[in-house]
Structures are given as C-alpha cells and as structure tokens.
Structure 1
Amino acid sequence: MTTSDFLTATRTFYDAIAEDYAERYRDELAERPLERAVLTAYAELVGAGGRVADLGCGPGRTTGFLASRGLEMSGLDLSESMLAIARRENPGIRFEQGSMLQLDLPDGQLAGVVSFYSSIHTPVDELPALFAEFHRVLAPGGHLLLGFQVGDEPRHFDRPWGHPVTLDFERRRPERMTELLTAASFTRLSCTVREAVPAFGESTPHAFLILRKP
C-alpha cells in the first residue's frame, strides 16, 4: 500500500463514521482514569502554556482535555468530518486538515506532540518517516506522547455502524516502538501499559509512551 493509499483509506473511513464515532465515545476520557493520569502527567512535563499539536486529533476530545490542563493546543486530522466535530466542541482551539507525515510547521516550533491512537493506521515501514517528522517539529527538550493498542496482529473493522467502509487498526509492541523512536533520536521517559477493559470492547492492552527530544 502506498502512502497515498493508506491516507485515502483512513480519511474515507473516518469521514463516514465521524458522527457515530463521536457519539459512541463521547464520555471516553471520563470513564478512563489511567488515560487521564497519563495525559495530566504529560501536560505537567510540557509545562503550562507550552505549544502542543494533537496529531490525528479526531473529534478533539484529547485536544480539549489537554487545553484544560493549561497547554496551548492545536489539532490536525485527515478527516474533515472529524474536524467539524472538533471545532464544534472546542471553539477556542485551532483545528486544521492535513497529514502527520507532512506537517506545515517550521523546525523546532513545538513544545509537544501528541499522537493518541493516531499512528495505528500508519504502515510499519512508514513509521520511521513519521517519527522523524515528529522530531523535526519539536523544540529541543520537547515531549512526545504516543498511545496505541498492544499486540502483533491488526484488528479489522468492516462496515462499522453500517457504513460501507473498512480499515485495519494496527497493534504494536512497546519495545519495538521504543526501538524505532530511539532510532529517531528520542529518549524514552516512561512506558505505561494497562490491561484491556472488556466492557469498552477491548481485547488487548493499551500502551502510552512519553519521550523527549534531547
């Protein structure tokens, strides 16, 4: 699959399901204390007023939460339908359409980058380029937060909520992700892994890496 192919597939999928997705996961962070703890710790590491981009922001729930913790947030997503929800729910935050692989930002401009379950649609051979782009836009001392499902096999979603779209959600191993991020010149600060919560429809653990650009 080419870069253009997976970007198009991801955009098409989320444009189709945006409103259903946003409604289904409306209270997601309120129900997940461990995620809130990781996000709060990340906000403290970045520091109040730090400029942070939430890349692959979806409906903007994580973006809004981090803004409430004192960060200067912006959001970026492939899906205009997701961005419409993010703008509607977070009128004070700037959201733009675009690809994480080609950020329209100068080098070293950000205090933080967040990729909360958004790298899961990036093919493994594109991850080095993705992490290099994260590194490029971070200032020295800036922090990266990466969230993803743990595992070795993708989860395939076919016709969610009856929409005629399909997409694979890649699962990764924290050890392998750390190797790739270290190769991209990041230093790992923490790795948090929580077990799956079947009540949320989960079947695998979830991992959260916080890294620093030296």
Structure 2
Amino acid sequence: MHLSQNVPVFFGRFLSNEGKGLDLVHHAGLVRVGGTQHKKLVLRELSAEPYESSKINSQELLLCRKCGADVVDSSYLFTKISPGSKKPKQENIFGKKNVTVQSLVNPFGIKFEIVTAEKARCENVGPRQSAESWFPGYTWRICVCPHCGQHLGWTFETTNEDDLPVKNEDATSFHGIILSNILGENFTDSLIMMPTTYQM
C-alpha cells in the first residue's frame, strides 16, 4: 500500500473503550493501547484530493492537523469577507454547505486559504497588530493550537470597543483559520479502518 507523503496521517483522536489515548507506532503501522497490547490497523489509501463529507448540514469538530486537538466546532463557521480576498468561493466542507473560503496574501507574498469562525480554541501570541490587517477596523494576532503550538491562523479584534469602526452587527472578535492547518473530524475517521476482529 502506498501512502501519499503530502498528507499528514493523524491518529491521536482515536480512543480505546476505556477512554485512554492510542499511541501510534507510526513507522510500523501499529497502535499501542495502554502501552502493552498492540493492534494492527488497516489504512485506507490517502490522496491529496480534498475530502468532502457526505454528512452535509451536520456539526463537525475541526482538528489541529499537527496534533489532533479539537480547535473549532463547525457550527461557529461564518462568513466575513476581507476586501483583500480575490474571488472568495463557497465550498461544502466540514459538514456544512456554502462555507466561504478566502485566499489572502500577506505582505511577504505568502498565500493562505482561510475560513472564518466566531469562536476557536486557540491561544493568541504577541500583542495586537493593526498594520496590514486583512479586515479593516480589526487588529490581528497569531493564534496557535493550545496543545502543540501549531500556527492555526489569526484572531481579529475590533480596534477600540468604545469607538467601533465596524458595523454594529459585526463580531467584535473572530478567527481566520488556515484551511491547510486543520482537518475535519469526519476526514480523520475515514483515514483508518479497524478490522472487525479488533473493534471494541
């Protein structure tokens, strides 16, 4: 079986029936349960093609691609268009229809595809920055996974809550999450299949 080296394989989300995490012995394709018992997993072929969930209009957790921590609930995804976005597109991803995906470029010429979320479980790093904000009237800070420190995106906050430069119906803060740094829970569930003789 050939696995694409371009797609990270994630297993940290799967738990034993006692609620203990499974440790992956990655190179051997084995999972260690509780440190003693080994179970062989059958991997599905991975591809670089985007995964579209067949469960549209359902709630899905979005996970850090590096460590698998829950970072966003798909029910918090919403549309906030940046004036710098070139041709935002609507995609059916993460169990939702018409999720807005925007391509934005930073001052260094690095392109990011992001989705916006009202809430996210990420830690803000550094002071608020107002220069080069993709969303006028908002400052930005890098936000990272609270578990592993992976860069997940940015937190955008209004510049001054007393003198709001944004419309009243707009959020006072939100997150721009980098699409390539997260995985949908349903996608990770599709990566492995446990043989029926080993199912708990």
Output the TM-score relative to the length of structure 1.
0.27
- What is the TM-score when the length of structure 2 is the normalising length? 0.28
Structure ID, larger Rg: 2
- Give the structure with the larger helix fraction: 1
